[in-house]
C-alpha cells in the first residue's frame, strides 16, 4: 500500500509539470490562427510573435530562485498551491487579450508559474519517496511535461484558440483542488522542527502500520545540522561541485537542440514525403516523447542515471550528425526518410536520458540544507539556456543555415557524452549523505 501511495502522491505532486507542458505546447497549434486568421482583435508581427514564445522561457528563468527561497520558508506543498491562482490569471490574460501586451504578460506569468514547478516539483516528489523509488518518482516531472505538451498538441489540433486556451486554463484549477489533500514533504517538516507532523506525513506515505522510526531519525538528524548562511552553504566544496554538475546537465539538456528539433519537425515530415497534416506530425512526435520517457522511468532504477545519460547523449550525437549531413548534402537526394529517422532517434534519445534525469539529479546532488537554493540556481540556468536557444536559433538559422545550427548541436552532444563519462557520479541506490560523501572524495 505504501508503494502505491508514494506513486500516487509523487504523480500528483508533479502535476505542475503537466500545466507547464500545456504552456510550452500552446504556441505551436495556435500560431496560424493568431497571426493570420483573426483569433484576436490584433495581429502580432514576427517580432511580437517571437516574444510570445520566448517570454514564457524568460518568465520561467525569473521564477526559480525566488521559489527556491520560498519552498525553504513556507514548504513545498504550500509554495506549489500558492503558484496556481496566478497561473490561472496568466491564462485569463491570454484568453481575454485585446492587445498584444496582455498576451505577452499572460505568457510571462504562465511561464513564471510553470517554471517554478521545475524546482518545487522534483524536490517534492523525491523527498516523499523511499530510496528505491526516488529515481522513478523524480522522472514523473519530465513524464508529465511531455504529457502536457501532448495534451496541448491534441487539443490544439482540433479546437480553436479560445476553447484550446480555456482547456489549458482549467488545468491549474484541477491541480489546486487535488493537491490540497496531499501531505507536506516530511523533509521540510523535520527541517522546521515539526517532528510529529513529519512522522504523520511519513505514515501517510508509507502506510499507517509501517515502522518509520529509522527514516524519521535520519531525516531529523539531517535537519538538525547547524544552520549557516546561504553564502557559506554555497561556498562548500561539495556544494560547488554538485552545482557545477547540475548546471552543466541543464546546459546540455537545452543546448543539444531539443527546441530546434521540435521546430523542424513539420518541415522534416514534409520533406520526407509524408502526406500527414502538420498537426498530426506534431502529435506523433508528442507520443514518441511520452513513450520514451516512460521507458526511462522503467529503466532508471535498473540501469542507473549515468548509463541512461550516456545512451541519451550518444543517440543525440548520432541523430544531429545525420541532420547536419542531411541539410548539407542530402536534401535534394530524395532521402527525407533519413531526416525523419534522425528526428525519431533524437526524440527517443533525449527522452530516455537528458529529458528527465537532469531534474532527478538536481534533487539528488545537494544536501538538504542547500537543496532549495542550489536547485533553483540550476533551474534558472536551464531556462536561461532555453531562452537563448529560442531567441537565437531563428537568427542563426538565417545566417549560418540549418547545417551550421545542427553542427553546433552535434558538438554539444559529443561534449555531453564525455562530460557524463568522466565527471557524473552514479547516484542510483545511494542516500543523499552517500552522494555527498562521494562528491566530497579527494582524487588520489
pLDDT (0 to 100) of residue 136: 86
Q: How high is the mean pLDDT of the chain?
A: 88
Q: Dihedral angle at the C-alpha atoms of 262, 266, 267, 271, nearest 10 degrees?
A: 120
Helix/strand/coil percentages in the chain, nearest 5: 80, 0, 20
List pLDDT tens digits, range 348-373.
999 999 999 998 898 889 887 788 88
Q: Exposure of 221 by Cβ count < 10 A (0-12 exposed, 13-18 middle, 19+ buried)?
A: exposed
Confidence of residue 208 (pLDDT cuts 50, 70, 90): confident
With pLDDT > 90 as the criterion, what percentage of the chain qualifies?
Answer: 51
Distance CA 275, CA 292 (A): 25
Residue 283 predicted with pLDDT over 90: no
List pLDDT tens digits, range 241-265.
999 999 999 999 999 988 778 767 7
pLDDT (0 to 100) of residue 444: 39
Cell numbers at 121, concatenated: 516539483
Confidence of residue 272 (pLDDT cuts 50, 70, 90): low
Distance CA 25, CA 7 (A): 26
Lowest mean pLDDT among 171-180, 317-326, 389-398, 435-444: 435-444
Cell 518509520 found at? 212
Residues ≥6 apart with Cβ < 8 Å to 43: 34, 35, 36
Confidence of residue 234 (pLDDT cuts 50, 70, 90): confident
Q: Are 396 and 405 in contact (CB under 8 A)?
A: yes
With pLDDT > 70 as the criterion, what percentage of the chain qualifies?
Answer: 95
Distance CA 437, CA 444 (A): 15
Residues ≥6 apart with Cβ < 8 Å to 55: 104, 107, 108, 111
Confidence of residue 160 (pLDDT cuts 50, 70, 90): very high
Cell numbers at 232, concatenated: 557559506
- Region 376-380: what's the mean pLDDT? 91
Q: Are 382 and 253 in contact (CB under 8 A)?
A: yes
List pLDDT tens digits, range 87-132.
999 999 999 999 999 999 999 999 999 999 988 998 899 899 888 8
Q: Are 149 and 25 in contact (CB under 8 A)?
A: yes
Geometric angle at alpha carbon 402, from 399 and 404, rounded to 5°: 70
Same fold, 1-182 and 228-444: yes
More confidently predicted of 444 and 165: 165
Identify which of 187, 193, 200 has the alpha carbon closest to the alpha carbon of residue 369: 187
User: If you count them, how many residues does the chain have?
Assistant: 444
Confidence of residue 35 (pLDDT cuts 50, 70, 90): confident
Q: Are 305 and 365 in contact (CB under 8 A)?
A: no
Burial readout 15-36 (b: 16 or more C-beta within 10 A, e: otherwise): bbbbbbbbbbbbbbbbbebbbe
Handedness of CA 123, 125, 127, 133 (dihedral sign): negative
Geometric angle at alpha carbon 76, from 88 and 227, rounded to 5°: 140
Q: Cα separations (Å) of 24 from 30, 53, 118, 145, 208?
A: 12, 8, 13, 9, 39
pLDDT (0 to 100) of residue 329: 86
Q: pTM of the predicted model, to two decimals?
A: 0.86
Cell numbers at 353, concatenated: 536520458
Distance CA 404, CA 384 (A): 22
Q: Are 35 and 43 in contact (CB under 8 A)?
A: yes
Distance CA 203, CA 368 (A): 21
**97: helix, strand or coil:** coil
- Region 66-73: what's the mean pLDDT? 89
Cell 529503466 found at? 299
DSSP H helical ranges for 43-194: 46-73, 76-96, 100-127, 134-158, 161-179, 186-191
- What homologous superfamily is domain 228-444 in, according to CATH? MFS general substrate transporter like domains (1.20.1250.20)
Task: Say which CATH topology domain 1-182 has.
Answer: Growth Hormone; Chain: A; (1.20.1250)
**What is the 8-class DSSP label of residue 228?**
-
List pLDDT tens digits, range 288-334.
999 999 999 889 888 999 999 999 999 999 999 998 998 888 877 77
Confidence of residue 230 (pLDDT cuts 50, 70, 90): low
pLDDT (0 to 100) of residue 99: 95
Confidence of residue 16 (pLDDT cuts 50, 70, 90): very high
Domain ranges of the chain: 1-182, 228-444
Cell 520517457 found at? 293
Amino acid at each position: 500500500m505504501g508503494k502505491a501511495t508514494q506513486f500516487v502522491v509523487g504523480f500528483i505532486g508533479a502535476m505542475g509539470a503537466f500545466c507547464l507542458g500545456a504552456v510550452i505546447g500552446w504556441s505551436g497549434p495556435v500560431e496560424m490562427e493568431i497571426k493570420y486568421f483573426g483569433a484576436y482583435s490584433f495581429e502580432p508581427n514576427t517580432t511580437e510573435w517571437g516574444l510570445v514564445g520566448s517570454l514564457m522561457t524568460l518568465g520561467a528563468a525569473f521564477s526559480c530562485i525566488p521559489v527556491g527561497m520560498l519552498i525553504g520558508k513556507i514548504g513545498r506543498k504550500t509554495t506549489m498551491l500558492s503558484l496556481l491562482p496566478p497561473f490561472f490569471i496568466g491564462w485569463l490574460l491570454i484568453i481575454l487579450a485585446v492587445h498584444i501586451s496582455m498576451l505577452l504578460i499572460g505568457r510571462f506569468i504562465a511561464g513564471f508559474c510553470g517554471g517554478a514547478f521545475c524546482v518545487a516539483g522534483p524536490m517534492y516528489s523525491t523527498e516523499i519517496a523511499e530510496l528505491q523509488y526516488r529515481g522513478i518518482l523524480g522522472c514523473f516531472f519530465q513524464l508529465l511535461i511531455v504529457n502536457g505538451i501532448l495534451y496541448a498538441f491534441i487539443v490544439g489540433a482540433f479546437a480553436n484558440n479560445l476553447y484550446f486556451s480555456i482547456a489549458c486554463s482549467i488545468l491549474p484549477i484541477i491541480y489546486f483542488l487535488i493537491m490540497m489533500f496531499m501531505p507536506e514533504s516530511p523533509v521540510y517538516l523535520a527541517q522546521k522542527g515539526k517532528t510529529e507532523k513529519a512522522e504523520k506525513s511519513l505514515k501517510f506515505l508509507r502506510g499507517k502500520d509501517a515502522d518509520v522510526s529509522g527514516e524519521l531519525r535520519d531525516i531529523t538528524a539531517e535537519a538538525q545540522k547547524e544552520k549557516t548562511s546561504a553564502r557559506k552553504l554555497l561556498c562548500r566544496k561539495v556544494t560547488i561541485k554538485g552545482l557545477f554538475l547540475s548546471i552543466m546537465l541543464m546546459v546540455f539538456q537545452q543546448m543539444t537542440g531539443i527546441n530546434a528539433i521540435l521546430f523542424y519537425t513539420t518541415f522534416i515530415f514534409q520533406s520526407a514525403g509524408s502526406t500527414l497534416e502538420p498537426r498530426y506530425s506534431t502529435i506523433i512526435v508528442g507520443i514518441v516523447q511520452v513513450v520514451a520517457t516512460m521507458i526511462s522511468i522503467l529503466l532508471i532504477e535498473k540501469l542507473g542515471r549515468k548509463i541512461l545519460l550516456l545512451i541519451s547523449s550518444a543517440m543525440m550525437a548520432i541523430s544531429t550528425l545525420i541532420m547536419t549531413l542531411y541539410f548539407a548534402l542530402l536534401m535534394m537526394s530524395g532521402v527525407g526518410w533519413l531526416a525523419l529517422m534522425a528526428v525519431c532517434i533524437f526524440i527517443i534519445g533525449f527522452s530516455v536520458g537528458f529529458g528527465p534525469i537532469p531534474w532527478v539529479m538536481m534533487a539528488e546532488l545537494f544536501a538538504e540544507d542547500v537543496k532549495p537554493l542550489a536547485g533553483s540556481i540550476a533551474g534558472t540556468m536551464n531556462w536561461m539556456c532555453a531562452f537563448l536557444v529560442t531567441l537565437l536559433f531563428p537568427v542563426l538559422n538565417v545566417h549560418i543555415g540549418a547545417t551550421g545550427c545542427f553542427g553546433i548541436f552535434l558538438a554539444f552532444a559529443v561534449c555531453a557524452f564525455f562530460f557524463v563519462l568522466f565527471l557524473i557520479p552514479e547516484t542510483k541506490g545511494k542516500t543523499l549523505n552517500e552522494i555527498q560523501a562521494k562528491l566530497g572524495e579527494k582524487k588520489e
